[in-house]
Amino acid sequence: MDVVTDRTAGIDGAVRTGRALAEAAAAVLPLRWVRADFPLTAADVDPGFLTRALRDVAGGATVVAARPVGGTSGTTDRVRLDLSWDRDSGDLPRHVFIKSTPTSAKNRTMVAALALARNEALFYRHARSALSERSAPRCFSAHAGMGARHLLVLEDLTDRGGEPKALCDDVDAGYARAMMVTLGELHATFWDSPRLRGDLDFVRPERERPGFPLLLRQFRQVRSKLLKSAEYELPREVREMAAFVNANDWALHANWDKGPQTVIHGDTHLGNTFGLGDGGVGLLDWQVLYRAPGMRDVAYFLVTSVPVEVRRAHTDELLQTYLETLARNGVPAVPTRDQAWDALCLFAFDAWDSAAITLVWPGLQAPENVAKSVERANAAIVDLDVMPVLRRSI
């Protein structure tokens, strides 16, 4: 039986990798060589498309002009549009935020191989409506095609007082507590939900994610480079952890399949959050969502994004806030405090990996973000003394 299971897993993994490679192959083709039934870039978005996308909030009004007022390029291209309507009304959106196909073939390749654009479009189509207004931006239109071609029309959060954060920002304990509440509400909503076997079946377990074997290999290469290079100074505890993970990564990642499963955001660093005037916190960029224990999101945020002194002083309180939020939102068997601490120590290596890759892959984050997240992640690995939990977990 074990042999059959292993063979089946190997076949399934090969199929997933093959699909990821096919998506990557389409991604490297010139942008307009792959057809889509939606605008590929913000420049292709015209007033007629926007009028149709915004019909549920427009009350019959028509967009007559859309002017770009700033944007960035990365894993997606992002442009803010200033809208003009055929009539004046305080209820009409004055801006929208467009996320669309990367113009860079290199970025398209990564987005396609990992199904990032498809994930986010499906999140907004199927899962967003189950969450609170503050949890994520409102989406007016979501499209995804082959080779990372995609387009999202999102609300402009600044129009309702949202303040997007940068990864290098320093937040206080109040912001971190609000983030624990948001994560607790997200995870409670989908905690062992039958929808994970229904309309949310696209939210795959970690080791079934498109491109996961490729990602695992990439992280091994990152750890090996950091361990061998004299260019990077790593604390002794971090070097021990990185060497252990390189030798045992597949077995360690098997822990993602254990315990209650839920929809996790998957990339809960500070730069993917926004604060609101009422003290609430929401999440941006839902491209990496998958199925896993909720504590993985919690660990990722605490390790990469909370200032070191704040984390040291408030981790126990923050974990308790998260657990209480799960209970308040109907989770029947909430993890214990000790289980939450063990999960934090287990998932910390994965958060460290995500900071470390930005050191050796220029352009993933701005230099100031890289410096701050790596500093926080190194300190967290040392402070948490992760090795006893990692050794018990394989």
Q: Does residue 67 carry a pLDDT above 80? A: yes
Tell me which of 103 and 369 has the higher pLDDT. 369
Rounded percentage of the chain residues whose pLDDT exceeds 90: 78
Q: Residue 1: which pLDDT band, with cuts at 50, 70 and 90?
A: very low
Task: Round to whole Å and give the CA distance between 204 and 210.
Answer: 9
pTM summary value: 0.91
Neighbouring-strand partners of residue 108: none
CA atoms within 13 A on the CB side of 252: 24
> Which residue's entry shows tokens 């409506």?
129
Q: Residue 16: which pLDDT band, with cuts at 50, 70 and 90?
A: low
pLDDT averaged over every residue in the chain: 92
Q: Does residue 101 carry a pLDDT above 60? A: yes
Same domain, 260 and 353: yes
CATH of the domain at 188: 3.90.1200.10
Same domain, 178 and 138: no
Same domain, 44 and 84: yes
- Whose CA is closest to 350, among 249, 217, 262? 249
Same domain, 132 and 206: no
Residue 17: the pLDDT is 64
Residue 14: the pLDDT is 65
Q: Residue 364: which pLDDT band, with cuts at 50, 70 and 90?
A: confident
Same domain, 152 and 171: no
Residue 9: the pLDDT is 39
Residue 362: the pLDDT is 76
> Of 126, 159, 192, at which residue does a domain stop?
159
Q: Does residue 7 carry a pLDDT above 50? A: no
Same domain, 109 and 172: no
* Count of domains forming the chain: 2
Q: Does residue 15 carry a pLDDT above 80? A: no
Region 270-278: mean pLDDT is 96
In terms of residue numbers, what domain contains 321?
161-392
- Whose CA is closest to 123, among 158, 96, 163, 150? 150
Q: Does residue 70 carry a pLDDT above 90? A: no
Amino acid identity, residue 192? D
Q: How far apart are the first and last CA of the chain?
A: 21
Same domain, 253 and 302: yes
Residue 30: the pLDDT is 86
Region 137-160: mean pLDDT is 94
Q: Does residue 363 carry a pLDDT above 90? A: no
Q: Residue 6: which pLDDT band, with cuts at 50, 70 and 90?
A: very low
- Whose CA is closest to 117, among 100, 131, 134, 139? 100
Residue 181: the pLDDT is 98
> Of 159, 184, 214, at which residue does a domain stop?
159
Same domain, 179 and 299: yes
Same domain, 116 and 202: no
CATH of the domain at 51: 3.30.200.20
Burial of 364 (0-12, 13-18, 19+ CB in 10 A): middle
Q: Does residue 391 carry a pLDDT above 90? A: yes
Q: Residue 106: which pLDDT band, with cuts at 50, 70 and 90?
A: confident
Residue 83: the pLDDT is 96
> Of 129, 159, 189, at which residue does a domain stop?
159
Same domain, 388 and 250: yes
Same domain, 210 and 359: yes
pLDDT in tens, 48-57: 999 999 999 9
Same domain, 80 and 197: no
